Structure 1
Amino acid sequence: MSEIFHIDQLPNRTIAHNGQEYLFFSGTAYLGIPQHPTFHRLMTESMYRYGTVFGSSRNGNVRIGVYEEAEAKLAARTGAEAALTLSSGMMAGQVIINWLRSQTASFLYAPHAHPALWHAPTVTIPQLSFADWIDQLPDLVNALPPGPVAILTNSLDAVCSDYYNFEWVNNLPDNRPITLVVDDSHGLGVLNNGRGIWPQIPRNPSRAGGPICLLGTGSLAKGMGLPGGMVFGDADTIKTIRQTAFFGACSPMVPACLDAYLQADNLYAEGYERLQRNIQLAEELLLPTGLFQHAEGYPVFFTEHDELYADLLQHSILIYSFAYPTAAHRANTRIVISAFHELEDIKRVTDQILAICKAVS
């Protein structure tokens, strides 16, 4: 098991632990928003206006307009018709699951589907590759009892840095209603110029069973740097989800965070540009080592060489290496690039990896 680093500050490009400074290549703050001093200022100013929490139902008789304004902007960012925010990505997934349970006969899960999308404490997650699951999916759907089906998947494999092709949506059986739920936690703010996966998912309006109902969900605490989650899709479905008891009973996202988001266009654009610059350099330097699996343009570099964690740690470089989503899972090792990194940081980790490779060759 990797050493636990107990720290008393937000991780940035470096962290301090037991009096020693480490270069930090982990976490999910891809755009560097939580670390940005200007965003800190925006948050402070917004908290003077909105306080630290809004302890009421979003469906109450007193409503703060910043929610609808921010949700309209988030929906437009993804390309969806409408969006709703919640207090976390887990709550965002579960508000959809709660709604689906009232009308869906069967649930089908893709490999590695995030627990935020689980409809029970334990569910059957296929232990096969995403490509093999796609090949089997039409038969899996047809083998289910008659009735609506929900298909639940992540937008990509963020652990092993692998993109998913969503053309398979066009080949789904058309003999029943289908709802496709895609958790885009690791794509929001990062893929497709920050729009996430939504533009890549085909629509299929000519099915005999009716159009596929497409819903997106995800944490905003990663690329977007906000403590909350959101769901997005067509306006009618989002309106229906808003009217559920589950959503009405949820504590809402902190309004000050959404107010800060509305004022941070330049910071998101700047973070995206810096991230792309850093990814490009990392691809040029890390990929020739032959140690990494990597989806082009994505900030995660996965390796099967778990020993790299301990080797780099000896040289004050901390990379990702722990079991996820539970301690029973195999630890995975990856280098995560963020907008807060300097070019010299990426050169340093590469130089150290090359030196390690040379020493063991």
Structure 2
Amino acid sequence: MIINQLPNRTITYEGRDYLFFSGTAYLGLARRPAMQALLAEGVGQYGLHFGASRNGNLQLAIFEAAETKLAGQVGAPAALTVSSGMLAGQVVADWLAHQVEPNAVGIQAPGTHPALWHPLIKPQTVDLHGHQSLPMNLAPAYILTNSVDAIRSGLYSFDWINQLSDNQMIWLIVDDSHGLGVLNGGRGIWPQLALKLAAKPNVRLLVTGSLAKAMSLPGGVIFGDLDTLVAIRQTAYFGACSPMPPAYAYAYVHADALYAEGYERLMRNVALAEAALLPTGLFSHAPGYPVFYTDHDDLYPFLLENGIFVYSFAYPTPADKANTRIVISAFHEPQDIHNLAVAVRRFAQQHTRYSPAHA
């Protein structure tokens, strides 16, 4: 389906309106007039783009202001922004490749985002979040993982951190693209991991993420300790990159109330969806998370026929299995969720043992 407008709570295709329950704009800010007004102010001050190196001899103060605010939002010591979440992961992965020996042992959880893949590091796959024991005899030097299973809507406990060695430098690199703005009151995964690592000073934490999802900003971010981020900033990989558009950094710095309101609306909508969808037994779902995953891929064409568009395509490559999931956003109205639930229950009655008496 190809359209000519930015999705909101609805999209229009070939003259027909569809309720839109897909995408990753969890806080629903991309179409908020107040957010667009802040962006317009930013464009007026900074123009459309600043295509210069962040290490150049002319600096824009708004980037440092946004990074300070981002670090404060999640509780990290420092933050560094780049032009995309993919680049944030690649900057860190490239830097990491030059910190560890070429044959250093590393661990990568299944499903780790491609942003953290790099040809110079070759970790072994270990199902960390599936309670597979860490190969402690191999003394891992680095660990790569996502913060959350955003495809199948699963939260990770990270209890395996307790198994980590206390006497060897270990880098823990976590992609928080789908957690930032949503997990832990909107702070993302950092506070959860910082608490677990309080007794592991030998484990150095770096969290990367896309700002283009919940935060509605075309950029990426790296969270970590100040010394490490200073070192990453001095790499050629970072120095050769253009930054995110400064107008968006300006909008973010001035949008506290909008982000808070978006989070509150999102949590209310998720609660409504949980009450309406989970009794059907069709979905796997992490409490409080805005994604409802189903193995019933035929739900997608059924809902589409009923005027509802949900996420369903192969990811991360066309060769992978299609993933069908419903995504709730702050821009949805209660009636939208009610209409969705009516259609889902009708599907469930036709395809499962679901009984509306149990709803």
What is the root-mean-square deviation in Å for CA atoms of aligned residues? 1.7
TM superposition shift of 1:176 = 2.2
3-state SS of paired residue (1:325): coil
TM superposition shift of 1:39 = 0.8
3-state SS of paired residue (1:160): coil
TM superposition shift of 1:241 = 0.9
CA 309–50 in structure 1, closer or farther in 2 if over 3 Å, else same: same
CA distance in 2, matches of 1:315, 1:221: 29
CA distance in 1, matches of 2:286, 2:265: 18
CA 33–360 in structure 1, closer or farther in 2 if over 3 Å, else same: same
CA 130–343 in structure 1, closer or farther in 2 if over 3 Å, else same: farther
Conserved? CA contact 2:167–2:202, under 8 Å: no
Give CA deviations for 1:175-224 in whole Å, capped at 9, x if unaligned: 421000010000101111110011111454665xx620000000000011
2:223 to 232, 243, 249: 232
CA distance in 2, matches of 1:151, 1:336: 29
1:345 to 303, 321, 336: 336
Which residue is 1:354 aligned to? Answer: 345
Which residue is 1:6 aligned to? Answer: 2
CA 123–143 in structure 1, closer or farther in 2 if over 3 Å, else same: closer
Which residue is 1:291 aligned to? Answer: 282
Which residue is 2:355 aligned to? Answer: none
Structure 1: any 5+ residue segments left out of the alignment? none
Which residue is 1:312 aligned to? Answer: 303
Give CA deviations for 1:45-88 in whole Å, capped at 9, x if unaligned: 11011011111111111000000010000001011000000000
3-state SS of paired residue (1:283): helix
CA distance in 2, matches of 1:180, 1:314: 45
Query: Are 1:247 and 2:247 an aligned pair?
Result: no
Which residue is 1:183 aligned to? Answer: 175
Query: Are 1:47 and 2:43 an aligned pair?
Result: yes
Q: Tell which deviates more after alignment, 231-240 or 337-346.
A: 231-240
Which residue is 2:132 aligned to? Answer: 135
CA distance in 1, matches of 2:233, 2:142: 19
Which residue is 1:217 aligned to? Answer: 208
Query: Are 1:118 and 2:117 an aligned pair?
Result: yes
Conserved? CA contact 2:148–2:154, under 8 Å: yes
3-state SS of paired residue (1:224): coil
CA distance in 2, matches of 1:255, 1:282: 36
CA distance in 2, matches of 1:50, 1:226: 15
Which residue is 1:280 aligned to? Answer: 271
Conserved? CA contact 1:205–1:211, under 8 Å: no
CA 123–206 in structure 1, closer or farther in 2 if over 3 Å, else same: closer
CA distance in 2, matches of 1:23, 1:338: 12
Give CA deviations for 1:212-271 in whole Å, capped at 9, x if unaligned: 000000000001110000001111111111111111111111100000111111110110
Equivalenced residue count is 348
1:158 to 142, 150, 165: 150
CA distance in 1, matches of 2:323, 2:197: 37
Which residue is 2:256 aligned to? Answer: 265
Conserved? CA contact 1:203–1:212, under 8 Å: no
3-state SS of paired residue (1:136): coil
Which residue is 1:25 aligned to? Answer: 21
Using structure 2 for the length normalisation, give the TM-score.
0.93
Identity across the alignment (%): 56
CA distance in 2, matches of 1:267, 1:74: 15
Conserved? CA contact 1:111–1:125, under 8 Å: no
Name the amino acid aligned to 1:84.
Answer: L
CA distance in 1, matches of 2:14, 2:171: 50
Query: Are 1:76 and 2:67 an aligned pair?
Result: no
TM superposition shift of 1:294 = 0.3
Which residue is 2:191 aligned to? Answer: 199
TM superposition shift of 1:355 = 1.7
CA 49–279 in structure 1, closer or farther in 2 if over 3 Å, else same: same
Conserved? CA contact 2:180–2:189, under 8 Å: yes
Using structure 1 for the length normalisation, give the TM-score.
0.92
Name the amino acid aligned to 1:181.
Answer: I
Q: How does 1:61-100 map to 2 (within 5 A)?
A: 61-100=57-96
CA distance in 2, matches of 1:329, 1:206: 39
TM superposition shift of 1:332 = 0.8
Name the amino acid aligned to 1:154.
Answer: N
Deviation above 6 Å: which 4+ runs of structure 1?
Answer: none
